[in-house]
Amino acid sequence: LQKILILLQVTLSVVVGKTLMVLFPNAMKRYILKMGEKSRMNQNPKFSYENWGPTFFSFKYLLFVLKVKWKRLEDEAYEGHPAPNTPVVTLGGEVRHLLDFMEDNRPLILNFGSCT
pLDDT at 63 over 90: yes
Residue 75 is given by DSSP the state: T
87: Cβ contacts below 8 Å, ≥ 6 apart:
95, 96, 97, 98
For residues 88 and 46, the model is more confident at 88
Domain ranges of the chain: 1-75
**Tens-place pLDDT, residues 104-115:** 888 888 887 766
pLDDT for 116 equals: 60
What is the model's pTM?
0.57
